[in-house]
Amino acid sequence: MTSETLDQLFEYHQAKGASATILTAQADDPNGYGRILRDHVGIVDKIVEQKDATPEEARVKEINTGTYCFDNELLFETLEKLTTDNAQGEYYLTDIIEILKENEQIVAAYQTDDFEESIGVNDRMALAQANEIMRKRINQQHMRNGVSFIDPKTTYIDEGVKIGAETLIEPGVALKGKTTIGENCAITQNSQITDSVIEDQVTVKSSTIEKSVVHSQADVGPYAHLRPQAEVNQKVHIGNFVEIKNAVIGEKTKVGHLTYVGDATLGKEINVGCGTVFVNYDGKNKHHTTVGDYSFIGSGVNLVGPVNIASNSCLAAGSTITDDVYENDMAIARARQVNKEGYAKRLPFLQ
């Protein structure tokens, strides 16, 4: 139900000077709803529940939405007069209407034009229907504001999420919690973003982002995972199968693929090679690693925190770094290769 309808109901209630006002709607299929019965001049007489309705009453299509405005004092007085003398042996709040009428109180009915606002949720099918209605309303409002949807029916956006104009949302996307998406972004299929800020001109490709910030002109994914407290700065590239957690990635740094960056601060314009792991956990405590600007990290490097890598340094591929590396230095931390001539012929797979 919209706030506009509630405002209109309250205004109508006051204008009529009513003791009770019922919000009603016209239903093509009123099955399951209480029926609004009116007298010969159209004034509300009472509400009859489905199981208590006669065949003639059951044909009435004006239904009770279950939303009311009451005079509080009269409501509490009337509640004491309710009985369980009905088909279900229950106390019906709807019986209050008939009791008020018998006491010559004014009862009004305000009919909404949108039956969807009256839908009750009594089972999982009805819950799914209500969710579909809310999803449609939310997505339509974003489209009015200039956001493009490939398939709104398969896009799930929480109430309160903000999306800038000219942003594209593809099928299967879920935007949850207090998420903000900037202008001219592209959020591709099956991305999930929760409680995060995505600035302008960002591309998120089929990735998961939680409680993180992605600054303008960065791109994330496909299949990346930004866990809480990740901050991705301007023009950063986060590639496929990269996980970032509690880490800051500086401007124009590239973390291309198959990498874990946790508890770390990376400067700007760093290259992080494939298969790099920031080793941050010793089994009890987390340790922080810092990498300075313009550094190069080769493929398959392990950085065992806490460790500091100065600017303009180079870590050779396959190294396990346990000590600090100073500016302009190259660190090589791997065993020297030894070739044993002819030895392969002695191995089982060649026998």
User: Among the listed ranges 119-128, 149-158, 260-269, 319-328, which one has the minimum average pLDDT value?
Assistant: 119-128
Residue 292 domain-assigned? Answer: yes
Residue 97 domain-assigned? Answer: yes
Residues 99 and 125 occupy one common structural domain: no
Residues 81 and 159 occupy one common structural domain: no
Q: What does the pLDDT average to over 166-184?
A: 98
pLDDT at 120 over 90: no
Rg (CA), the chain: 32
| Structure tokens, 331 | 């660190």
Q: What does the pLDDT average to over 187-193?
A: 99
User: What pLDDT is stored for residue 62 in this prediction?
Assistant: 92
pLDDT in tens, 262-279: 999 999 999 999 999 999
pLDDT in tens, 48-106: 988 889 999 999 999 999 899 999 999 999 999 999 887 788 888 888 988 998 899 99
Residue 176 domain-assigned? Answer: yes
Choose one of 115, 136, 153: the last residue of a domain: 115
257 catalytic, yes or no?
yes
Read off the CATH number of the domain in which 242 is found.
Answer: 2.160.10.10
| Options 13, 237, 257, 287, the catalytic residue | 257
pLDDT at 119 over 90: no
Q: What does the pLDDT average to over 200-214?
A: 99
| CA–CA distance, 273 with 330 (Å, rounded to integer) | 15
Residues 125 and 110 occupy one common structural domain: no
Residues 17 and 111 occupy one common structural domain: yes
Read off the CATH number of the domain in which 33 is found.
Answer: 3.90.550.10
| CA–CA distance, 136 with 141 (Å, rounded to integer) | 9
Residue 197 domain-assigned? Answer: yes
CB burial class (10 A; 0-12, 13-18, 19+) of residue 112?
buried
pLDDT at 160 over 80: yes
Residue 243 domain-assigned? Answer: yes
Residue 342 domain-assigned? Answer: no
Residues 167 and 104 occupy one common structural domain: no
- On average, the pLDDT of the chain sits at 94
User: What pLDDT is stored for residue 40 in this prediction?
Assistant: 83
Pairing outcome for strands 44-48 and 35-38: antiparallel
Residue 315 domain-assigned? Answer: yes
End-to-end CA gap in the chain: 77
pLDDT in tens, 20-36: 999 999 998 888 889 99
Q: Which amino acid is at 152?
A: P
Residues 245 and 135 occupy one common structural domain: no
pLDDT at 329 over 80: yes
176 Cβ partners below 8 Å, 6+ apart? 156, 158, 161, 192, 193, 194, 195
Residue 336 domain-assigned? Answer: no
Residues 76 and 185 occupy one common structural domain: no
H helix intervals, 17-123: 55-58, 72-79, 95-102
DSSP string, 219-257: EE-SS-EE-TT-EE-TT-EEEEEEEEEEEEE-TT-EEEE
pLDDT at 288 over 90: yes
282 or 87: which carries more pLDDT confidence?
A: 282
Residues 279 and 170 occupy one common structural domain: no
Residues 275 and 321 occupy one common structural domain: yes
Q: Which residue range forms the structural domain that includes residue 7?
A: 1-115
Q: Count the domains in the chain.
A: 3
At 299 the three-state DSSP class reads coil
User: What pLDDT is stored for residue 347 in this prediction?
Assistant: 85
Choose one of 149, 175, 205: the last residue of a domain: 205
Q: Are 319 and 301 in contact (CB under 8 A)?
A: yes
pLDDT at 241 over 80: yes
User: What pLDDT is stored for residue 169 in this prediction?
Assistant: 99
Residues 296 and 224 occupy one common structural domain: yes
Which candidate, 23, 13, 260, places its Cα nearest to that of 119? 23
Q: What are phi and psi of 225, to 5 degrees?
A: -135, 110
Choose one of 91, 115, 139: the last residue of a domain: 115
Q: Please calculate the CA angle 335-337-343 and round it to the nearest 5 degrees.
A: 130
Residues 176 and 269 occupy one common structural domain: no
Residues 124 and 163 occupy one common structural domain: yes
